[in-house]
Amino acid sequence: MICVLSGGTGTPKLIQGLKEILDSEELSIIVNTVENNYFSGVYVSGDIDVVMYTLADMINEEFWYGIRGDTFITNEFLEEIGCPEPLRIGDRDRATKIEKTIRLSEGYTLSEIVDIQKNKLNIKSKIIPMSDVDSDIKIVTDMGDLDFHDFLIDKGCEPKVLDVVYSKVPPSDQLISTIEESDMVIIGPSNPITSIMPILSIEGVKDALKKKYVVAVSPIVGKSPVSGPAGQFMNALGYEVSAVGIAKMYKDFVNCLIIDNQDKYLEDEIKTILDDVKITNTMMKSLEIKKDLAKFITDLNK
């Protein structure tokens, strides 16, 4: 079994490749939940839904959010009547979120709801929320403490980041056992600070990873992240914005770091931090490249 730690942007592209070369039942995805919150009266678990829609071949690849071909009738009418949404939610996507909201009010856990929804979408892979308890992430900035959504959307990532603080939440029931039962763990190329570190900060996760073969794909190519504000967060926590910084961040529990061809010049430096570094094309601009990268990674443990 292959276990993947995922956020909602870079890693789902890799998941597209993995699901093409593996049997669906062999794949388990542990997903960040730190951004989960209520918007427009519905419960939004953005990263989980992106992973679920990716596995169901429904994801809107233009934005890597929502459902491909969705309509926005509700969103547009809310705008017309003077009640604009903080998030633009499509109609079919909203239905997914409404079901989560209703079932949460009925006492279901998030893990139970995700299992129900992914089964309805004929997804055979496991999707595991990192926790069934809502967590948050505090972005300490020169404009005060902000939650991640306020920093990202309301402030447009403009404030200077001084620190990042994670709330303490318990692991979901299957989190640790899924890592322990896996043959290989892949840390995907999601934002290391806001997508991956929240999972790693949960008690027992790092200890479980130290006992497994773990491969990480660097989300940094050159001196900047492939997407998103990861660089600001890495700087705030004292890490160089490069594959070297990723190696230092993950060095206690990662066996191999995969870096892009453009970063080959960093190979020797990274080898002073980690025992193994591999170099290939990590810029997943087509399905073929995603499949090639997935095969490159999974072949490492054969």
For the residues 89-114, what does the mean pLDDT come to?
Answer: 98
pLDDT at 8: 83
CA–CA distance, 121 with 259 (Å, rounded to integer): 34
pLDDT at 140: 87
pLDDT at 139: 85
State yes or no: pLDDT of 64 exceeds 80.
Answer: yes
Across the chain, how many H-helices and E-strands are there?
13, 14
pTM for the whole structure: 0.93
Q: Name residue 6's beta-bridge partners.
A: 31
Q: Considering Cα of 208, then 214, then 219, then 223, what sign does the dihedral take?
A: positive
pLDDT at 91: 98
State yes or no: pLDDT of 227 exceeds 60.
Answer: no
State yes or no: pLDDT of 154 exceeds 60.
Answer: yes
pLDDT at 225: 58
Per-residue pLDDT band at 236 (split at 50, 70, 90): confident
61-65, 134-138, 179-183, 262-266: the lowest-pLDDT one: 134-138
pLDDT at 185: 98
> Whole-number mean pLDDT of the chain?
92
Helix residue ranges per DSSP H, 108-155: 110-120, 148-149
State yes or no: pLDDT of 233 exceeds 90.
Answer: no
